[in-house]
Amino acid sequence: MKSTIIFASSWLLAVPALGQASTATAMLARYQQALAGHVLGYEVQRIDTFPSGNVWNHRGQVVMRRRPAGSALPADFLAQRPDMKLTYYYNGSAGYDLDDKTRTYRMEAKPYAPSVLGSPAGQLLAEELLAVTDSAYQSVAYSLTSQGGVLHFRYPDQPALDVLNRHTYLVLDAQTGLPREVKTTMMRGGGKWVIIKRLSQLRLDAPADVAALDQPSFRATYREAVPVPAAEAPTLQSKRAPLFALQGLAGAPVRLAAYKGRVVVLDFWETHCAPCIRDMPQLQLLQARYQGKGVVVLGMLADNSLGAQGRAPGILKRQGATYQNLVVSKEIASAYHVNSFPHQLVIGRTGIIELDHTGGEATAALTAAIERALNVKTPAKSTK
């Protein structure tokens, strides 16, 4: 995907003016004008430093072109991960997940943006180079350093996603005015998350890059992978709930058997799962609505990452979640077939599972299952 570096004339004309911009808005306007409508190609090294202290370091190449507002993804793009032999191509309507080792592809008619941008190749997309034209940021500042100009974007907090104090720094090279680094910092999961995307070989409208987007060669040289039927996910619905005795996040042990005769809602979650965190206020409302009717909500922290138990209380506090949370063992997660998050269950008063649901935004399904469980009459005790 490498090609000769060719810069658009509009960019070259804009470079001298960039350093002369006296305000952040003027600088941003010139920068937007310089990149508007162009195909961008670049090499990238992405370094993620997570709140846990773990570090990811990935490299690859990307070609991209901004999509109109309202598109499922921010850009048409072709992103390559040579180390994993994986590529992702998106043309504005469909996505193609390419395996460069087997030279096969899998088409996604309606790609889900978070999954694509979180995929190995999609993580290399520096969408910040394009998204500065939106109005999502709260404020923008500009400073001139010895290394070049820096556009600093401050974003509103998103407590529903547990994203706080988010800042993005777009660093421009002192000699060329071209973006050479995008750095984003945020507080998430009770700790600081830093994402650095170091750019090199950045080019505008290189013929090979334009062709890569408009006439991708894989269509002639790759074959479509034969779809493998997905195995039906095991479900515990209508089965008896596995018993457990787990340590509470606050320290006290909790046994499921102690809630016999009550309706129990289990919410399996992780500290880095945005849909899990987004669901917490709704679970709190369910607890408040039904607690007088014999319903209890139990958060089930099934996160084995370093520092998860330390991050969890802060997340729960910010989401206003006061219901009890337990630390889940691998054995119990396996017994409940927990493979993805959020995973929520409703256990009836007799111990039979009324609902086994995976995926967020399940308030309606949870409410219906709770109502069913409350309306089931428990067998009368024998007097004999």
Q: Which tens digits make up the pLDDT trace of 345-360?
A: 999 999 999 999 998 7
Q: How far apart are CA 29 and CA 23, in angstroms?
A: 10
- Per-residue model confidence (pLDDT) at position 351: 95
> Using 50, 70 and 90 to split pLDDT, how confident is the model at 18?
very low
> Using 50, 70 and 90 to split pLDDT, how confident is the model at 229?
low
On the question of pLDDT at 28 being above 60, the answer is yes
- Per-residue model confidence (pLDDT) at position 316: 92
Lowest-pLDDT choice from 84-88, 90-94, 110-114, 216-220? 110-114
Where would I find the H helices in the chain? 9-18, 24-35, 113-117, 128-131, 207-214, 218-221, 274-290, 308-318, 330-335, 363-375
Averaged pLDDT, 273-284: 90
**Token pair for residue 173?**
């090279």
On the question of pLDDT at 204 being above 50, the answer is yes
On the question of pLDDT at 382 being above 70, the answer is no
On the question of pLDDT at 381 being above 60, the answer is no
107, 224 Cβ separation under 8 angstroms: yes
On the question of pLDDT at 230 being above 60, the answer is no
Averaged pLDDT, 71-97: 89
Task: Report cis status (omega within 30 of 0) of the bond before 342.
Answer: yes
Q: How far apart are CA 215 and CA 206, in angstroms?
A: 14
Whether the full predicted model's pTM is greater than 0.75, yes or no, is: no
Closest among 179, 177, 79, 173 to 128, alpha carbons compared = 179
The CATH number corresponding to 239-375 among 3.40.50.1820, 3.40.50.170, 3.40.30.10, 2.60.40.1260 equals: 3.40.30.10
- Per-residue model confidence (pLDDT) at position 133: 56
- Per-residue model confidence (pLDDT) at position 69: 65
On the question of pLDDT at 4 being above 60, the answer is no
- Name which residue leads in pLDDT, 124 or 116: 124
> Percentage of the chain with pLDDT > 90?
49
Q: Which tens digits make up the pLDDT trace of 303-345?
A: 877 678 888 888 898 889 999 999 999 999 999 999 889 999 9
On the question of pLDDT at 12 being above 50, the answer is no
- Residue that is written with structure tokens 């996505």 in the block: 95
Torsion of CA 141, 145, 147, 148, to 10 degrees: 50
In CATH terms, the fold of domain 24-224 is: outer membrane lipoprotein receptor (LolB), chain A (2.50.20)
Q: Which tens digits make up the pLDDT trace of 171-199?
A: 987 777 778 899 999 988 678 899 999 99
- Per-residue model confidence (pLDDT) at position 231: 58
Tell me the domain boundaries of the chain: 24-224, 239-375
Across 7-16, 59-68, 224-233, 288-297, which has the greatest mean pLDDT?
288-297
How many Cβ atoms from other residues are within 10 Å of residue 253's Cβ?
Answer: 10
